[in-house]
Amino acid sequence: MPIDTPDLLDRFLRYVQIDTRSDPHSTTTPSTPGQWDLLRLLVTELTEMGATDVTLTEQGYVLATVPATTRKAAVPRLAWFAHVDTAPNLPGAAKPIVHHAYDGCPIVLPDDPKQRLTVETIPHLRAAIGQDVITASGATLLGADDKAGVATVMAAARHLLRHREIPHGVIRLCFNPDEEIAGGMKHLDLALLEADFGYTIDGELPGEIDYETFSADAAVLEIHGIAAHPGWAKDVMVNALRIAGRFLAALPPNQSPECTAGRDGFIHPVESAGSAEHVTVRMILRDFELDGLAAKRALLEKIVAELRASEPRARLELTFNEQYRNMRYWLQHDMRPVEFAQEALRRAGLTPASQAIRGGTDGSNLTARGLLTPNLFCGMHEVHSQREWVSLQDMARAVITLLHLAQVWEERSA
């Protein structure tokens, strides 16, 4: 199934040069203006390629339709999702570099020569020898998470619109903001989407089909001390910074991201900021099971209770916020989206593989809301770092997988 790989490459290179990193402190949706730039570009491109019902909502969701070509009346309506934002930890306006026919030698990124990609330190890079590997220049993210997914969905939609001889049902497209700050599906109106099943295109390895994720909560600890002039502070001052230090020191190291793997969850302080009078500590909690997540909440409550008892003059406020839940809880009752994707992967010449994701996708929230949405690969690697990379050939395999997926759903329908 030949596809237009030069167009796929051009799209990806165009998208990653737009800075779309999200901002967890923003009160707007999308959280950053750069996301609007890419969203508006996608509206233009979708309209030009012939998609119908192209819409950009007030909350920053681009919706569009690839009309059905099947004569069958009962083919479920699929939705393909990709998020436009990139992680907040690094700049997102990439200067992409295409390493054509990668030869296996170390890739040194010119804007930061300390950033090196080698087949010894990055095992998956060895499989990309001979392929066209794309990196950033070393000062930014590449943005393959998830602009590789955006480019994949756009290329698949363009192919279906140009090849109406391929039988498929209605395909709804959705490009959304703020996935990286757990807000990707917060404002999406599922009634407006009008889909029966969905797929996020936000995974790593060719053949990957994910249907189990972490369950996730956020936690915030506000510590209010007592201010005083340091020269006359004895028995008066209560230093919120010192209490924050004791709190952080009390977190068990064996439940940190740097000490866990596999199916182990963690408590991760992501930010601590403030002064002697007031400190805010922000954390994320992750576990594959809800009882494990509850245990982590209970541990934080215990530590805070002990700090309150040791310094009753301070005021400590601990709050939790649900972010997303393990999609397995819902998908295990209807595995058709997974099984049909596995068949599409096999038709694309790939071996289906599933693992429990040590993270989450927009599909976690969508699935919990009733739209079963597993996650498919788009080829990105070393995400959230300057060493992020993707191969053009892997993105092309993701496009081919989506084309087969549309046909499998049509074939398996009455």
Query: Which runs of consecutive H residues, i.e. helices, occur in 108-212?
Result: 123-126, 144-162, 190-193
C-alpha–C-alpha distance, residues 123 and 166, integer Å: 37
- Sheet of strand 389-391: strand arrangement: 97-99, 133-135, 389-391
**Selection from 264, 51, 273, 279 nearest residue 174 by Cα:** 51
The one-letter amino acid code at 387 reads R
Rounded to the nearest 10°, the torsion over CA 171, 174, 175, 179 is -130
121: which 2 tokens? 């330190």
367 to 105, 171, 198, 330, 372: CA distances (angstroms):
42, 18, 9, 7, 4
C-alpha–C-alpha distance, residues 208 and 269, integer Å: 30
What's the first-to-final CA gap in the chain, in angstroms? 25
- Sheet of strand 62-66: strand arrangement: 52-56, 62-66, 171-176, 78-83, 197-203, 375-377, 209-210
DSSP assignment of 135-151 equals: E--SSS---HHHHHHHH
The answer to whether the bond into 2 is cis (omega within 30° of 0) is: no
C-alpha–C-alpha distance, residues 414 and 412, integer Å: 7
* Catalytic site positions: 85, 179
108 to 112, 113, 130: CA distances (angstroms):
8, 6, 17
In this structure, what DSSP letter does residue 107 have? E
194: which 2 tokens? 């009008």
Rounded to the nearest 10°, the torsion over CA 91, 141, 218, 223 is -40
380: which 2 tokens? 């990105």
Sorted by sequence, the CB contacts under 8 Å of residue 124 that are 6+ apart come out as 205, 381
